[in-house]
Each structure stands twice: as C-alpha cells, then as structure tokens.
Amino acid sequence: MKDVEKQNPRIVALLPMKANSERVPGKNFREFYGKPLFRWMLDTLLSVEAIDLVVINTDARAILESNGLSDSERVLIRDRKPEICGDMVSMNAVIGDDVSNVEADIYLMTHTTNPLVSSDTVKNALAAFQEAREESRADSLFTVNKIQTRFYRSDGSPVNHDPDNLVRTQDLEPWYEENSNLYIFTGHSFASTGARIGSKPMMFETPKLEAIDIDTPEDWDFAVVAARHFMGSP
C-alpha cells in the first residue's frame, strides 16, 4: 500500500436508495423525526470529514430533487440502470456498479434505514478497518450486534445451551448478528468475492440503540422511540 494512501486514502460512501419499499411504503422519503429518513444517514456521512464523496445509486432522482438534493461537490447521484432495478436484485449488483464506475481506496456502504448511526461510530469503524488493513488482519469490515441469550430451534430443541445445566446468559458463548449498519471494503476485496464482505472480514460491534434497522412498521416505531431518547422532542 502506498504511503500516501495510508495517510490520506480516498474514501467513498455508498448510500443506495430506491423509490419504493415493500413493508414500509416510501420509507426513504417519509419524514422521520423532523426530516426525510434518507437525510439522517446522508447528513451523518457528510459530517465525517474523511469521507470524500457520497454516492447515491437510485431510481428516484426526481424525488430527491423535490427534497432539495442534487449533485454537489461531495454528493454524486447515479441513476440506477434498469437491469439492476427491482426488489429481487442483489445489493451486491448495485454496489458492483458503483465500484466499477467510482474509484476509491476504501468504500463504506450503508443504508438510509439506519438513521441513528452516529458519526463517531462511522469514524471508529473506519479507523478500526484502516488499522486492521495496514496490519493485514482484514480486507473488509461489517457491523454486528453481540447477542448472548438462549436460542432454540422451531421444534423446541436448544441450539447453544443445555437446559439441564443452566448457566448465566452472560457466560454463554456470544453470537454475532450482522446488522447491516456499515460495510467497509476495497475494490480488491470486492473483486475477490463479488460481495461487500471480503474473504478476510472483521466484525465491528455497534451500540445497540444505534443499530436499529428500519425494515418493518414496528422497526419504524421503535426507531422513533429511540430517537426521542437520544434527542428529545423534535
């Protein structure tokens, strides 16, 4: 890795966005605690000075413009190609289109549906990845929730514990849930797997309340309650 890249890598954030969503209709543009949902993550990314550019791959340019967003020095809106539109298209295909067309030393991919992720968490994840990459410990990073509880299969059989020998949940082996908050990778790692998680990934635990991912109406309500806890009344 070049010394210049180590000191000042070009970091591009990928924030894909589509007009429609199945379970929470129009959620990306619905008002969330005082401003459109998409603005929360976008504003967080723009507040991180290390991020050079935010790329929005979308089929909703007109809706973004009606919400006051257009191309600028640090925001690039890319019109989504017809062949990668639709609910059944893999997100890796959308990411691949961005990676092929926008150069960067490091890519950070996230979602508009993670409105409570803080700039500090973004900065800390980037720092952790850059350190691990320089030491050849990881080629990519994804965020997780740490879970220590008793799991069962649908037939009632235990997964990770012995019901006849109960131990405290904090003494159980921790499991880690991919929470879709942040993915950090390089063009090389993406090429090696065709995915945002490379062949040598590291995990990064995010604060529990920040990790809320809005996928259902119940998630939306929970996120509003969490936002009220963080920020008070809008």
Write out pLDDT tens, residues 136-149. 999 999 999 999 99
What does DSSP say about strands 106-110 and 11-14: parallel, antiparallel, or unpaired?
parallel
In 153-214, alpha helices (H)? 187-193
Region for 26 from its dihedrals, namely left if φ exceeds 0, alpha if ψ lies in -120 to 50, beta otherwise: left
Stated length of the chain? 234
List all residues 6 or more positions away from 7 whose beta carbon is below 8 Å from its beta carbon. none
Band of residue 20 on the pLDDT scale cut at 50, 70, 90 = confident
Band of residue 3 on the pLDDT scale cut at 50, 70, 90 = very low
User: Taking the model in full, what pTM does it have?
Assistant: 0.92
Domain boundaries defined on the chain: 3-142+178-231
Domain 3-142+178-231, CATH 3.90.550.10 — does that match?
yes
